[in-house]
Structure 1
């Protein structure tokens, strides 16, 4: 199909929609891969585990209580059975069974972590709001926590790791190095004219000169702005130069070829073809250069070596190197037919070198934030290596060797399995194409990494979409890149990426705090009720009391712990990655110690509380009511005190930063006030009675002991390996134990014995 827009131009449409490059790109980034985030996978596992345990315990309690009830082992206060076969009314029996069923259902309600989604949503929403202040716009809520699990970040260089303030600081032209890169007097007129012509026409930038004078305003990519700014200092009048010739054909800058060209018509018989791009690539196509006298002379081996050494030196100084070259061409050889002209490949051989320039883009001051970062850039590997050393991605020159520093074309030639092995070691990838970046992301994900990718161009969209977390640049980023990303960095600053990681880790840590707090309550409540049900047929915590505990544990606990702000302590931790368990060994230690303490104390009160509290003088009914109320009150206060412990699972100072979290303090205060009201004023509803000051003091002391106990628990060392891996390794070691071989070889000396070692 042909579209004739005017007498001068005719366009041929070769594909539309999905059949175009743009269509294929949009289709690839619009596909939903359906992958769950690492946290969602972990939460599903934890929720399923807790639910199964809770349901199992509830069924066990239901069966035990029903058997005890209908066999007459459940007694009244006077010692008589609550159920007598043939004597108890059916309605009374049904009521007794319903009460037992209510207790079992309540246990399920307490055990099932219905507050977990609330805690996750609250902490994500809170973090999302706070991250906006740190110049990070979250487009997908789950991205907040995924960033906290990120084990590696694949970042581009320009504008992210660097300031994106490019200027030409070195130039080689006329056969040697220019003393002052922007000094026009060092260049012969013909060379200066050709340079200005090529820069003005072979560019996607533009120049606006304000009326009445003033500095010209340059627009375009950072590299284009730097080159145009250099040409203006050499005396370029942008608009005047562009009017002196007409564009015949354009070969846009290509990320694969790393160069772009333009064919210009100067007269009826003469044409100029200008090329600009990666220094070493354009230089390889040059056979001549313009010397200091303005003469075009052959580019011999010595001069070629000189220019290659210049490119290497500039690259080692973290400069982006760009070569500018041209050649003449006969207009008679230019296709006259419009269709042929559209397919014409601009000649790119036998070029005349005009200049090689070095562009400096200062590195951002990002401190120690780059230990997990891999730089993926289209620049010369030497330039990328120099920037990586300056930023701290590479620690020394010894690290700057293959495969730590690799070229994109080398990486893409490996097989999938080889790429997985190499990907672990790569710190810098230079001369990379967008597809190389995508291949690196896929290889890292297959290795179990949680991968974050930063990008700003349309070509970065597939990698941004494929990554676990995509971060696009808000200033330089294209709309396609932003649509493909999960978070937009509004100031294009890597320091903001570090803040996103900080908030992400805070989200993950807050969810862990809530789970530790919730599981402690779960374990204590379930064990107390199960042991009591099996031994006496009664449970000290009734349905209403358990529902109040559930409210403290789920809703109020989620509100209190989900809004903990991030701390510097979080950044000292290693990233959790994809396979690390949500419940760590430290969490298991803390919750088991607290749960064991609560279960021990409250069971002692359940079975010996009346004698310990001196309730023998009271009526049996009164004694049981006071004792059960004290158990309920002490249990709730244990959770209030333990909520402070949950704030800092691995730190001794549990009050650090608490004055900044007003919501936490407010919720603790509200919970305490409501507990007093429940015990003292709404006893009929909750089956509680008023307690005297001594009984309140006992409850407070029981809860308070949880603080020093938590500090002592943190002195208990725990293995760094997750428990399931630890026990697996232990079993494997025992399986590999050479005990049989020792029995067969009694002459083995103790020094060589594996057990001795």
Structure 2
């Protein structure tokens, strides 16, 4: 329930524990680090750069050249038409069905007065070749004025390779290397300003005899997507989520590295990474392919951005990171992301944009697709693990203390200080409520200032095993002191010992709340559930001491005021011992630092 409140749906319970050990988050860019609300803000066509105004998916906006409102010429209309028709999304008001990138292209055309339904009726689609992460482009074929016209949109560097002509002054001219470099320069400029640019191109299908070649007779995709005429670029802005920069900083403080892995152009990815605070070297999937596994192992720790990646690249990165001992959290939303999600220690699928296949492969689903929710889930994972440790540590200390009481009593030839029903009462009732309350203890301050937990760490790591023995031994000594102090009446002495053990264990709950911080820092009553649980356990203990019909059952007798002074005084000793251990531990840490 706590994870769901943090927008993280856990599909596998083990992932909650693993989250606390995560050392690196490999995150996609679009929608996770950014708001996934694309808006075309710049268009480059026919040698002219247009600025597009507006906000979000509202069709209100204009086109400007500098500060002057621009006329909608044929070239500008063509680049907008291609963006609208070579498109599978639909926009109704602020509601988007489909990819946000395609929605932005529709909205840009809406600002020019174009309506998608009208265009699709006038220029019906006859065939399409869908976008894929490998092809990095989409193609549609439309019937326009009796002709069959191919529209293509996609990554500028990919589209340029398929073009042999470019639109200049409204007419196609040969695409020379100089012009190609000029277009790439415009593209790089857009990318450096964190704009995601898509290129638009077209061609008419060739004549075959007296009629145009039929779509059915086209033998391959290559025969369609060739000899294209380059029209222009549409640059989209997808602003980073405002909370992501702080989340990345929190990761850094917590010893967790953030890495952006995206299909976008390298320059765009680096610009967004700079805005959100992700640092490190940037490479592309092509450069990644050139690395041997050994070379990649040497460099992967310094990487901050990996751009132009395929799903296979994601899987390879996860494998290399895991081989280096990292605990990897990997995000994904597509069908092709399933292998990397399964390979990662924590596969994280997107709840809004993610496919069912990705969600099935993941350990965790983000209900808001937000990087910051991964960080809060990691914080919650650390919190849950800490509380599990507190719960187990408390019960082990109590059980070891009870064992030592009986062991030393037999060893020293004492009468039994505890009878079976008293031990059963302590284990099932008075210990149970405080232990459960420790399981819902508030998170400690500085939870995300600590390095990730070693997955091999156990309840007995970091000196906890020795601490359990020390606390258990001290509990037994205090109980036996109480047992021998109060006199020769066995029932009276046993009642004092019984109550001392309960009160000592209740006092020990405050020691269990933190391994580092003093009770004075934490606050005695900062966990209201623990306060209530201790009070309930004390009242229950008083009931078995003073209720006449329970006294024979539990072998107790009524205690006097002096008895309670002894019991409370002995109980406070264990609090002092716990505080002393924390103080000494702090001195050692300070000395080592």
TM-score of the superposition, structure 2-length normalised?
Answer: 0.86
Equivalent position of 1:704 in the other structure: 572
With over 3 angstroms needed to count, the CA separation of the structure-2 counterparts of 1:206 and 1:655, relative to structure 1, is same
- Whether 1:194 and 2:78 are equivalent positions in the alignment is yes
Q: Distance in 2 between the 1:569 and 1:490 partners?
A: 26
With over 3 angstroms needed to count, the CA separation of the structure-2 counterparts of 1:437 and 1:720, relative to structure 1, is farther
How far is the alpha carbon of 1:308 from its aligned partner? 1.9
Counterparts of residues 111-260 of structure 1 (less than 5 Å): 129-179=1-51, 183=63, 186=70, 189-207=73-91, 219-260=97-138
SS of 2:34's partner is coil
Equivalent position of 2:250 in the other structure: 369
With over 3 angstroms needed to count, the CA separation of the structure-2 counterparts of 1:685 and 1:416, relative to structure 1, is farther
Q: Residue deviations 1:394-416, cap 9 Å, x none?
A: 1xxxx3x3xxx222233345455
Q: Residue deviations 1:100-159, cap 9 Å, x none?
A: xxxxxxxxxxxxxxxxxxxxxxxxxxxxx2333333333334433332332222221111
SS of 2:446's partner is helix
With over 3 angstroms needed to count, the CA separation of the structure-2 counterparts of 1:217 and 1:569, relative to structure 1, is closer
- Whether 1:673 and 2:557 are equivalent positions in the alignment is no
Q: Distance in 1 between the 2:463 and 2:197 partners?
A: 51
How far is the alpha carbon of 1:650 from its aligned partner? 1.6
Counterparts of residues 345-356 of structure 1 (less than 5 Å): 345-356=222-233
- Whether 1:713 and 2:590 are equivalent positions in the alignment is no
TM-score of the superposition, structure 1-length normalised?
Answer: 0.69
Q: Residue deviations 1:209-249, cap 9 Å, x none?
A: xxxxxx69654211001111112223423223223334343
Q: Distance in 2 between the 1:147 and 1:570 partners?
A: 13
Q: Distance in 1 between the 2:46 and 2:113 partners?
A: 17
Counterparts of residues 228-627 of structure 1 (less than 5 Å): 228-266=106-144, 270-291=147-168, 293-332=169-208, 336=214, 338=216, 341=218, 343-366=220-243, 367=246, 368-371=249-252, 372=256, 373-394=258-279, 399=280, 401=281, 405-412=282-289, 414-536=291-413, 539-552=416-429, 555-585=432-462, 587-588=464-465, 590-605=467-482, 609=484, 612-613=485-486, 615=487, 618=488, 622=489, 624-627=490-493
- Whether 1:685 and 2:553 are equivalent positions in the alignment is yes
SS of 1:178's partner is strand
SS of 1:715's partner is helix
Is this contact kept in 1: 2:91–2:97, CA < 8 A? Answer: yes
With over 3 angstroms needed to count, the CA separation of the structure-2 counterparts of 1:674 and 1:417, relative to structure 1, is farther
Q: Distance in 1 between the 2:294 and 2:411 partners?
A: 57
Is this contact kept in 2: 1:449–1:577, CA < 8 A? Answer: no
Is this contact kept in 2: 1:412–1:439, CA < 8 A? Answer: no
With over 3 angstroms needed to count, the CA separation of the structure-2 counterparts of 1:295 and 1:186, relative to structure 1, is farther
Structural RMSD (CA): 3.1
With over 3 angstroms needed to count, the CA separation of the structure-2 counterparts of 1:433 and 1:574, relative to structure 1, is same
Q: Distance in 1 between the 2:525 and 2:471 partners?
A: 25
With over 3 angstroms needed to count, the CA separation of the structure-2 counterparts of 1:693 and 1:218, relative to structure 1, is closer
Equivalent position of 1:694 in the other structure: 562
Question: Which structure 1 residue ranges, 4+ long, deviate > 6 Å from structure 2?
Answer: 718-721
With over 3 angstroms needed to count, the CA separation of the structure-2 counterparts of 1:505 and 1:216, relative to structure 1, is closer
With over 3 angstroms needed to count, the CA separation of the structure-2 counterparts of 1:630 and 1:685, relative to structure 1, is same
How far is the alpha carbon of 1:636 from its aligned partner? 1.5
How far is the alpha carbon of 1:431 from its aligned partner? 0.9
How far is the alpha carbon of 1:570 from its aligned partner? 1.4
Q: Distance in 2 between the 1:426 and 1:229 partners?
A: 36
Q: Residue deviations 1:343-400, cap 9 Å, x none?
A: 5444333322211222111111221234332211111122111111111121xxxx3x
Q: Distance in 1 between the 2:499 and 2:94 partners?
A: 76
SS of 2:197's partner is strand
How far is the alpha carbon of 1:261 from its aligned partner? 1.4
SS of 2:201's partner is strand
What are the ranges of 5 or more consecutive residues in structure 2 without an aligned counterpart? 54-61
SS of 1:545's partner is helix
Q: Distance in 2 between the 1:627 and 1:179 partners?
A: 89
Q: Residue deviations 1:463-506, cap 9 Å, x none?
A: 33333333333322233333333333222222322222222111
Q: Distance in 1 between the 2:302 and 2:429 partners?
A: 48
How far is the alpha carbon of 1:720 from its aligned partner? 9.4
Is this contact kept in 1: 2:149–2:202, CA < 8 A? Answer: yes
Number of aligned residues:
566
Q: Distance in 1 between the 2:409 and 2:376 partners?
A: 50
SS of 2:205's partner is strand
What are the ranges of 5 or more consecutive residues in structure 1 without an aligned counterpart? 1-128, 209-214, 727-757
How far is the alpha carbon of 1:654 from its aligned partner? 5.8
Is this contact kept in 1: 2:430–2:540, CA < 8 A? Answer: no
Is this contact kept in 1: 2:203–2:229, CA < 8 A? Answer: yes
Is this contact kept in 2: 1:590–1:713, CA < 8 A? Answer: no
Structure having the higher strand fraction is 2
Is this contact kept in 2: 1:444–1:451, CA < 8 A? Answer: yes
With over 3 angstroms needed to count, the CA separation of the structure-2 counterparts of 1:421 and 1:524, relative to structure 1, is farther
Is this contact kept in 2: 1:586–1:650, CA < 8 A? Answer: no
Is this contact kept in 1: 2:45–2:79, CA < 8 A? Answer: no
